[in-house]
Structure 1
Amino acid sequence: MTRFLVAPDKFKGSLDATEVAAAIGRGLCAAGADVVELPIADGGDGTVAAALAAGWTPVPVTVSGPTGEPVRTTVARHGDDAVVEMADACGLVRLPGAPAPMTATSRGLGEAIAAAVADGATRVVVGIGGSASTDGGAGMLTALGARVLDGDGVPLADGGAGLAEVASLDLSGIDLGGTALVVACDVDNPLTGEHGAAVVYAPQKGADPAQVATLDAALSCWADVVADATGRDLRDVPGAGAAGGVGFAALAVLGAETRSGAELVLDLVGLDRALDDVDVAITGEGSFDAQTLRGKGPAVVAARAAARGIPVVVVCGRTTLSDDEARTAGVDHVFALQHVEPDLDRCVTDASALLERIAAAVTSSVL
């Protein structure tokens, strides 16, 4: 019996990665195949879910959402390792209503890290995709024991706009107890300037042009103060602008290591072990395009499977890649929902049923 590894990412706006894997798996099983499901992620939303699907242990914690309201999130644990996810703790998906580009905070991420440290983790993997804030990581540091102060020694309110008033940073309260932090990061933006956190990403979080300018100036003030407190000016380091500047704070203050989100998460969920005993690998995401090939999860699955001589199938909602481009990425077959259902709205609403149908076509094409 042919054994399939089903390792997709989410179909954004339609199904999460676990639901995609389950739908494809049902179709394959109905066709008589043996299936191993391994949902994947790249450091954004779905990262903790991927770890849990791979057998990690959930540890529920309550943290501050992006506007300060309490939310329930999960820390994934396995041995001495923990995974925390900014998207689920205090990301865009946690906004209670309208965006809050000037006041949204990364505090909840810091609280999740603190919970993992208190629980005994010696390494914490931090997924920072899907953030709602542009606060330079100040909220995260505050939750870990830092004091972000104005000229009168008064703690600043949460949010990026308030950093325009920052005058000093007291780091004496931070103690991670030797816990190492590894940040899953796939962007190379600096903290400030035309390619920085505010200019590039704050509009996606609801900021208008005037607010973008305010936030960029505030991040410059923040970078000056952090440099004074740490003796290191890392505002221009690639990745400093990730997650509204959380990357900057993690690198400059917490001494974090950064790694490709997709590569890191796929190592955590055991992709290589899963590939040891399968005949065909199926991966995919909502849109299989040029962006996918820039190191996103499905591209990593394809590369690792192809390197072992395992046939690779991509199942997606839509694709803009040619057959030659797919083959260059190690992909043998591409099946898109848009090829069996021209109504794009139905591709979203009926994705699960369509994926089951496509799975039958996969088996007849590759067996």
Structure 2
Amino acid sequence: MTNGPRVVLAPDKFKGSLSAPEVAAALAAGIRRADPTADVRCVPVADGGDGMVDAFVAAGWKRVEVAAPGPTGEPSTAVYAVHGATAVVELAAAVGVAKLPGGRLDPLGSNTYGLGVVVAHALDNGAEEIVLGLGGSASTDGGSGLLRALGLRLLDADDRELDGADSDVATLLGRVSSVDRAGLHPAIARTGFTLACDVDNPLLGPAGAVAVFAPQKGADPDQMTELEAALTNWAAVLGTGYAEIGGAGAAGGTGFGVLAVLGAQVRSGIEVLMELLEFPSLVADATLVVTGEGSLDHQSMRGKAPVGVAAVAKAAGVPVVAAVGRTLLSPGEIRAAGFVGCYALSDLEPDPALSIAHAAELLEQVGERIAARRW
């Protein structure tokens, strides 16, 4: 035991630079160097996108690796986290953009089948609650690949099965006339599904999966028109009411498919993580909480991890500071979000390329600066 300050480090990843555990480790090194008496607890977090499984594994959950095809069908592996009968499955770890061969975007050829393989593995091994972290998707398939992997049959107007082997995503979903649920994995009926995501987009329209996210996946205007028409047909088959739910457009419409067929509920990714990790109890006796992400900006205010961490810390009466790559918020906006301070790497190294390349060293310096304050 130490007599120094108790500091909880709960950062998200610095995208393109460091994972959340690496951010926490760098901050911890700086804090301990400046104050050897500090009692530092690393609790890396995520808001539903890539890094969510890492966050749970860092918290002591079991890491499970499974063979699963990547977004374009190539052999690959994915990981998920398990604790008791609860499994956390991350879309990005199975069929995310980072899993594309050579990083080559394929907006019509990518799908979520591999994610379904991972979910099936969790079901086969006794999971009764499955949290799906949605983010970083390479595809816009409305979750159809995931559902096919779980036994849903897609049928055309002549009741012939469509397996997607001879068509792209837009063509496949445009041809679906009905579905057969008889072959769905039997454990689905007794399993609770939660969608953990940080977006509230519907499936269709100007705020939908195609209009907002497809360009990031390489879709050109013609392909976007095809995909919107395909998802419109897919929604008509599974239920247009589900298409209008906030979060249905997450991960290329994967949210919609899981809502419509698996009966999932949508929740903020960071709220789910806070709950499963029992975060309030972790910060209850802390002197200080440190969170952060690569860029603290106005999008951060819409359910991103640092703001979620700040809310829990504030409720516990514990001051919270942000350690970030950069911030686009004013001091007043930072305070309004619940932070008593913000330390940006850009203040130490204004060149973005150098800041990214030397993020770990800079974060150690930030850790020293944080420890120098007497909270």
Where on the TM-score scale, by shorter chain, does this alignment land: which range?
over 0.9
Give the 3-state SS of the residue equivalent to 1:35 in structure 2. strand
Which residue pairs with 1:264 in the alignment? 272
Query: What TM-score comes out, normalization by structure 2 length?
Result: 0.94
What's the offset of the Cα at 1:163? 1.1
- Which among 100, 104, 114 is matched to residue 106 of structure 2? 100
Q: 2:191 aligns with which of 166, 175, 179?
A: 179
In the other structure, the counterpart of 1:165 is: 175
Residues 131 and 244 in structure 1, CA contact (< 8 A), matched pair in contact too: yes
* Other-structure match for 1:330: 338
The 5 Å alignment of 1:206-355 reads 206-227=218-239, 233-355=241-363
Q: Which residue in the other structure is 2:136 paired with?
A: 130
Q: Tell me by how many angstroms 1:269 deviates.
A: 2.4
Contact 1:84 1:125 in 2 (8 A): yes
1:365 aligns with 2:373: yes
Q: Which runs of 4+ in 1 moved over 2 A?
A: 149-152
CA distance in 2, matches of 1:66, 1:263: 28
Partners of 1:154 and 1:308 in 2: CA distance: 54
AA in 1 matched with 2:234: W
Give the alignment partner of residue 15 of structure 1, picking from 18, 21, 31. 18
- State the AA in 2 paired with 1:182: T
The answer to whether the Cα contact below 8 Å between 2:284 and 2:318 also exists between their aligned partners in 1 is: no
Equivalent residue for 1:194?
206
Paired residues of 2:44 and 2:55 also in contact (CA < 8 A): yes
Could you tell me how far apart the structure 1 residues matched to 2:193 and 2:248 are?
15
Q: In structure 1, list runs of 5 or more residues that go unmatched.
A: none
Which residue of structure 2 aligns with residue 68 of structure 1? 73
Per-residue Cα deviation, 1:124-143 (whole angstroms, up to 9, x for no partner): 00001111111111101100
Instruction: Please give the per-residue CA displacement for 1:121-166, whole angstroms capped at 9, x wherever unaligned.
Output: 1100000111111111110110000111223403241652121111
Q: Distance in 2 between matches of 1:120 and 1:95?
A: 30
- In structure 2, give the amino acid aligned to 1:189: N
Alignment match, 2:61: 56
Query: 2:246, 2:189 → 1: CA distance?
Result: 27
More displaced stretch, 31-40 vs 209-218: 31-40
CA contact under 8 A between 1:262 and 1:297: conserved in structure 2? Answer: yes
Contact 1:54 1:270 (C-alpha < 8 Å) held by counterparts: no
Listed one character per residue, the Cα deviations across residues 171-228 of structure 1 (whole Å, up to 9, x for unaligned) are 111121401111102222221222211121111101000000000001111112223x
- 1:132 partner SS: coil
Task: Please give the alpha-carbon distance, in whole angstroms, between the structure 1 residues aligned to 2:318 and 2:206.
Answer: 43
Q: Does 1:88 align with 2:97?
A: no
One-letter amino acid matched to 2:356: V
User: What code does the residue aligned with 1:39 have?
Assistant: P
Q: What SS does the corresponding residue of 2:123 show, helix, strand or coil?
A: helix
> SS where residue 292 of structure 1 aligns?
helix
**What residue number does 1:79 align with?**
84
Distance of 1:75 and 1:95 partners within structure 2:
19
Q: Distance in 2 between matches of 1:59 and 1:173?
A: 26
Letter paired with 2:146: M
String of CA shifts for 1:213-258, please: whole Å, max 9, x gaps. 000001111112223xxxx742222221111111111111110111
Aligned residue among 150, 156, 163 for 1:150:
156
Letter in 2 for 1:134: T
CA contact (8 A) 1:89 1:108 kept: yes
Aligned residues: 363
| Contact 1:160 1:219 (C-alpha < 8 Å) held by counterparts | no
- Give the fraction of aligned pairs with identical amino acids, expressed as a percent: 49
Which one is further off, 20-29 or 319-328? 319-328
Q: Distance in 2 between matches of 1:225 and 1:308?
A: 47
CA-atom RMSD in angstroms? 1.3
